[in-house]
Amino acid sequence: MLAFIGSLGPTEIGIILLIVLLLFGAKRLPELARSLGQGVKEFRKSVKEIGEDADNDDSGPSPKSS
């Protein structure tokens, strides 16, 4: 999917944006962009917290079993 996005030119991006504008309307686009931004922010925050938890678990002394 990401390779496909990288191969899009300015014309294709413009056509996609025009289709999105027609589907959702000009009034809904700021709401959609805001929601998408908040979702990405929450996702990055969660990934960062999981990474910190994993680092904390790895750095502590491991219990020895007898």
In the chain, domain spans: 25-56
Q: Convert the pLDDT of each residue in 43-66 to its tens digit.
A: 999 999 998 887 777 655 555 554
pTM reported for the whole predicted model: 0.53
Model confidence pLDDT, tens digit, residues 13-33 = 899 989 988 988 888 888 988
Cα–Cα distance for residue pair 66/20, rounded to 1 Å: 63
> What Å distances lie between residue 47 and 35, 37, 41, 55, CA to CA?
18, 15, 10, 12
